[in-house]
Structure 1
Amino acid sequence: MNSLSRVWWTAKAVGWDNLPRRLLQAWRVRGGYLRRRLNPPDFSDEAFAAAGGAIEAHQGRLWARRVERFLPSPSPTTLRAVVGDEPWLNHVVRVAQTAMEGDYPYFGRWGGRLGWPPRFNHDTVDGADWSVGVHWLDSAFPPNPPGDIKMVWEPSRLSLAFVLGRAFARDGDERWARAFWQLFDAWVEQNPPQLSVAWACGQEVAFRLMALLFGAAATLGTPFATPARLRAMTRLAWQSGKHIQININQARMQGNNHALSEAAGLWSVALLFDELAEAPAWREQAREVLAAECARQVYADGSYVQHSLNYHRVMLDDLLWVVRLGELAHQPAPQPVIDALKRSAQWLLEMIDPVSGRVPIYGANDGANVLPLACCDHDDFRPVAQAAGYYLHRRRPLPGGPWDEKLLWLWGPGALDTPPQGRQPARAFHARVGGYFVLRGQQSWAMTRCHSYRDRPSQADMLHVDLFWRGQNVLHDAGSYRYRCREPWNHYFQSTAAHNTVQLDGQDQMVKGPRFLWFEWTRSRLLQFALSTGGRCGCFEGEHYGYRRLGGRLTHRRLLCRIDDAYVVVDTILGEDRHDVALRWHMCDAADAASGQTPERAPAPPDKAPGRGWRLCDDLTLSLIAPPGFAVSLSRGQEPPAVEGWQSRFYGLKEPCPVLSARAHADLPVRLVTLVAPTDSTLDFDPAHIFNPAAPLLLRGVNDAALADEIERTCGGRLQVSRD
């Protein structure tokens, strides 16, 4: 790619409409404007007093008014009714105790040794200590950073405040209140305004403020919430609002959830600290940003601009917070915020596994969980789906469970009195603007993606397929791991090779640019998406053109057909000449399998077509049928230089996972067939024309004439059924 093309794609990747913001930000940084506006003395206690910061004697009265406009703490009795003792012990008490013993929680999954009170600017992974006392403009983003900055941003989000506040609300044990205010004191002491990397990102400032407000409100009536501490908390809220207001252009130029989060932070300060002189102006600025960004970032079908399920949750948490605080303060959120919340909630409800609450680990996953208000695993999305779904209809969309705690904190005990809707996800769901397609059986469901990018992509994963079976994510995305680490890991998890799709010539579907950017964005076309009249068969077919840059009009076409709870995947690679072809399936591992078994060879009955059957779990088998000359193999935890067989369900952690692949240097066109079916399924393929891309695929073992008719009609002739 020549220099001119790289410049063009860089501009497209950051967004043509955001170029003026980018140029403005570059001038503000390089010209010294931002340094002058974010001058530490301007955030001092004297500056706070001049902005309307009240003296200590008035803090009790002001905070009593604040909590009237904040999320009320549920009664201990109500909390116990929603969450049993065992999940509470595991997800709240032990987390708090472990943190106070020096192992701080990271990304909802693992702990790092920070001591107590925590050393917030210490990176426990890379062993680095980030600078304090130096302006973040000089320390946060050096050419050779000492480590992944997210490893110090994560503890400074102070998500532990949610744990401590919830613990005190239920148990009334003052050690939790004492610990919260110790946490607050330590953070303030270690992070003077603008003089640590914790101030480098306005989104981090907003998340921290949300957590602190929750903890302060929950523990307000304790002797640890002294007038001096309450004034310090008010001062930090003012400092946070001032920082966000000055530098929100940095967030808006990114065109992603940063702008929503920072506007949510500014909205919080304006509504809850209305004695501050800047509060009215901040409220209107937050209102303007929220309205504009919601209209742009949340697509008309409810899917999200960042192509990520985890960032979809971040967006929903931001909007739930904004809407609820607005209701409590009698300041309704802008209508575009409400509309975006409703359509994005509806979209998410179609993407959740009804057994486990998990969603595909699709797209970038930085481990964020903005409002961790339920005793559920980090990757369980039922808390946010229940809360957002309730906002849609003022009824719970999901059955009751510990995930109701988040709903309780946001909307109070009255929300729990509403009966669950008994809602069932659609058998065939499409969000065509975002390019998401879902097919559901009685015990399974599959998601795939077919999209021509209109906004910056994060991973090279077009036509990837995720499959859930009885709550297990049996075929999955590899995840993200970390945003900054050594190669090849920095690139691997974003690459085509880390997804359940076809790779050609060892290349990604797009050209990798610097940091988070991709060039030559994938274009795709939907060929068909249908559900049979009887509902027993659903069909998706689409193709993408990401490899056209390699010559020969290369096209990857994928057919995904659901027949009851069996799935047929037909991959056809169209084009000319010989190319390296690799099809991969990332499979569940022993730790994720209900049977506790690692995927193993399952011998195919003699009457089946040539192929290799692999047992995904006790009652589900995958058969990968490849033409002669293809090598079919299983890899797991293969180290550099040829990385293969890894997954990262949680930020900062990677672990081996089995990957089944079929590879060859083959003449095009070529066709590969995958069948995922229950072990008692009779489905099979006629071997006569199975590898001929021009011929229909002949399916055997369908012993129901009505179902056979459904399959042929729904798949538009791509699949035909043997009537022998």
Structure 2
Amino acid sequence: MAADGGFATVSTGYHRLLLDTLVALEAIRRHCGRPALAAPIPGRAAAAAVWLGRVMAPGGALPALGHQDSSVVADLGAHGPGDARGSVERGLRLFAGVSATAQEAGCDWLGLGPAPALPRPAAWTAAGTRGWEVSAARGLLRAGPLRFRPGQADLLHFELWDGDAPLLTDGGTGAYNPPQGSRWWLEYFPSQAAHNAIQFDGQEPMPRLGRFLFGSWPRVAPQPQGAMATDRFGRSHRRQIRAEGRHWLVTDLVEGKFDRAVLRWRLGPGDWAMRPDGVAGRARLRISADAPLTLRLERGWHSPAYGQVQPCRVLAAEAEAPLRCLVTRILLPPFEDGPEAPCRSTSC
């Protein structure tokens, strides 16, 4: 655990498992009257609880960032693997002295009383991620630095939730030991195509060395409002995020030698319809670039829970070199002056 709440394994599922384990340890320690945990464990446990509370949807769902296996430990409130509110609330009250919800059965069972509300800054940074929360929408960027092996090709992956509704999502995991006929899960879900990122020339940014191990990690560096990654071929991708009320702007700047690049946005559940410049559905996505673009809806795959896989829609924007900049404008409802209202942000 890092002092800012980041976890070496950048995974919301294993982050929850870590927090559940620490909560069980702390609850037993208090019950038995044993000495307090030595520094810096309590402070880092508090930061880990705050991190999970900031990425969690109001109804308890978590983004499927990193590997997921639906593990649940000491689920005192019987919320189940799809609802992390109990895990977050017990961690926040025990370690941070704050609260994300008014009542939780596990906290009642442990005798944990009410606490002040969890602070929710408009932007925050932690080891491996950056986040934003503006006008009930939350954005999450998979950033760096890389202090632990990446388990998926998800660097600079960005996802966006509007309340409990996932708009731009991670593909998930599938399973570590898929059923007969589904071995392709092992290749697909860790790949770049299963994330909201830019792929150059159809190549993976990292060579696969094992089921959970990649080689030739990209160099990742923080940037104002985002992050930058440079792959083994010397191709760089700089992603910047800006939120203005219910309008979000994602600016992608690319450099290096490549013939073509594909930007993918994995769309959340719901009806999505193509438009000349993007898609319309639960949100309006409009993509522009400094080179001619080909836009299409692809069939992708999504793993909503461990061992489950279902089809999803993916908006792909493809351009040939020379290409320097792509801009995605995301308008969330209620749309101002209809879905064609312009974003007030500037492009590259």
1:442 & 1:332 partners in 2: Cα distance? 43
Q: Report the alpha carbon displacement of residue 374 of structure 1 after superposing the two structures with TM.
A: 2.1
Q: Report the alpha carbon displacement of residue 484 of structure 1 after superposing the two structures with TM.
A: 2.6
Matched, 1:421 2:116: yes
Structure 2 equivalent of residue 616 of structure 1: 281
Q: Report the alpha carbon displacement of residue 324 of structure 1 after superposing the two structures with TM.
A: 1.2
Matched, 1:311 2:14: yes
Matched, 1:338 2:19: no
Structure 2 equivalent of residue 399 of structure 1: 101
Q: Please, what TM-score do these two structures have when normalized by structure 2?
A: 0.90
Residue 441 of structure 1 contacts residue 564 of structure 1 at CA under 8 Å; is this kept in 2?
A: yes
Aligned residues: 343
1:683 & 1:670 partners in 2: Cα distance? 30
Question: Paired residue for 1:508, among 186, 191, 204?
Answer: 204
Structure 1 equivalent of residue 51 of structure 2: 347
Computing the radius of gyration from Cα coordinates, the structure with the larger value is: 1
Matched, 1:408 2:108: yes
Write the deviation string for residues 244-283 of structure 1: whole angstroms up to 9, x where unpaired.
xxxxxxxxxxxxxxxxxxxxxxxxxxxxxxxxxxxxxxxx
Q: CA distance change for structure 1 residues 700 and 648 in 2, over 3 Å: closer, same or farther?
A: closer
1:612 & 1:719 partners in 2: Cα distance? 15
Structure 2 equivalent of residue 657 of structure 1: 312
Structure 2 SS opposite 1:513: strand
Q: CA distance change for structure 1 residues 667 and 470 in 2, over 3 Å: closer, same or farther?
A: same
1:426 & 1:683 partners in 2: Cα distance? 29
1:341 & 1:307 partners in 2: Cα distance? 15
Q: Report the alpha carbon displacement of residue 438 of structure 1 after superposing the two structures with TM.
A: 1.1
Question: Paired residue for 1:357, among 49, 60, 72?
Answer: 60
Residue 474 of structure 1 contacts residue 616 of structure 1 at CA under 8 Å; is this kept in 2?
A: no
1:527 & 1:572 partners in 2: Cα distance? 12
Q: Report the alpha carbon displacement of residue 393 of structure 1 after superposing the two structures with TM.
A: 4.7
Q: CA distance change for structure 1 residues 521 and 333 in 2, over 3 Å: closer, same or farther?
A: farther
2:174 & 2:207 partners in 1: Cα distance? 20
Q: Report the alpha carbon displacement of residue 492 of structure 1 after superposing the two structures with TM.
A: 0.8
Alignment of 1:222-621 (within 5 A): 298-332=1-35, 334-336=37-39, 337-353=41-57, 355-394=58-97, 397-401=99-103, 404-409=104-109, 411-412=110-111, 415-416=112-113, 418=114, 420-431=115-126, 434-485=127-178, 486-528=182-224, 540-546=225-231, 549-550=232-233, 553-576=234-257, 578-590=258-270, 598-601=271-274, 611-617=276-282, 620-621=283-284
Structure 2 SS opposite 1:387: helix
2:51 & 2:163 partners in 1: Cα distance? 21
Q: CA distance change for structure 1 residues 681 and 510 in 2, over 3 Å: closer, same or farther?
A: farther
Q: Report the alpha carbon displacement of residue 630 of structure 1 after superposing the two structures with TM.
A: 3.1
2:101 & 2:13 partners in 1: Cα distance? 22
Mark the runs of 5 or more structure 2 residues left unpaired by the alignment. Answer: none
Write the deviation string for residues 551-592 of structure 1: whole angstroms up to 9, x where unpaired.
xx311111211111211111122123x4231111111123xx
Higher relative contact order (CA 8 A, sep 6+): 2
Residue 198 of structure 2 contacts residue 262 of structure 2 at CA under 8 Å; is this kept in 1?
A: yes
Q: Report the alpha carbon displacement of residue 613 of structure 1 after superposing the two structures with TM.
A: 3.5
Q: Report the alpha carbon displacement of residue 514 of structure 1 after superposing the two structures with TM.
A: 1.3
**Structure having the larger proportion of residues in strand:** 2
Residue 19 of structure 2 contacts residue 87 of structure 2 at CA under 8 Å; is this kept in 1?
A: yes
Q: Report the alpha carbon displacement of residue 437 of structure 1 after superposing the two structures with TM.
A: 1.1
1:322 & 1:447 partners in 2: Cα distance? 29
Residue 626 of structure 1 contacts residue 662 of structure 1 at CA under 8 Å; is this kept in 2?
A: no
Write the deviation string for residues 112-152 of structure 1: whole angstroms up to 9, x where unpaired.
xxxxxxxxxxxxxxxxxxxxxxxxxxxxxxxxxxxxxxxxx
Q: Please, what TM-score do these two structures have when normalized by structure 1?
A: 0.45
2:339 & 2:327 partners in 1: Cα distance? 11
Q: Report the alpha carbon displacement of residue 359 of structure 1 after superposing the two structures with TM.
A: 2.2
Q: Report the alpha carbon displacement of residue 455 of structure 1 after superposing the two structures with TM.
A: 1.1
Matched, 1:631 2:283: no
1:338 & 1:470 partners in 2: Cα distance? 30
Structure 1 SS opposite 2:125: strand
Write the deviation string for residues 575-621 of structure 1: whole angstroms up to 9, x where unpaired.
23x4231111111123xxxxxxx2223x5xxxxxxx5242232xx21
**Structure having the larger proportion of residues in helix:** 1
Which residue identity does 2:327 align to in structure 1? V
Q: CA RMSD in A?
A: 2.4
Q: Report the alpha carbon displacement of residue 503 of structure 1 after superposing the two structures with TM.
A: 0.8
2:33 & 2:339 partners in 1: Cα distance? 62
Which residue identity does 2:101 align to in structure 1? P
Q: Report the alpha carbon displacement of residue 424 of structure 1 after superposing the two structures with TM.
A: 4.0
Q: CA distance change for structure 1 residues 333 and 654 in 2, over 3 Å: closer, same or farther?
A: farther
1:450 & 1:381 partners in 2: Cα distance? 23
Q: CA distance change for structure 1 residues 563 and 407 in 2, over 3 Å: closer, same or farther?
A: same
Mark the runs of 5 or more structure 1 residues left unpaired by the alignment. Answer: 1-297, 529-539, 591-597, 604-610, 637-644, 686-698, 703-710, 712-717
Q: CA distance change for structure 1 residues 357 and 424 in 2, over 3 Å: closer, same or farther?
A: farther
What is the aligned-residue identity percentage?
Answer: 26
Alignment of 1:158-173 (within 5 A): none
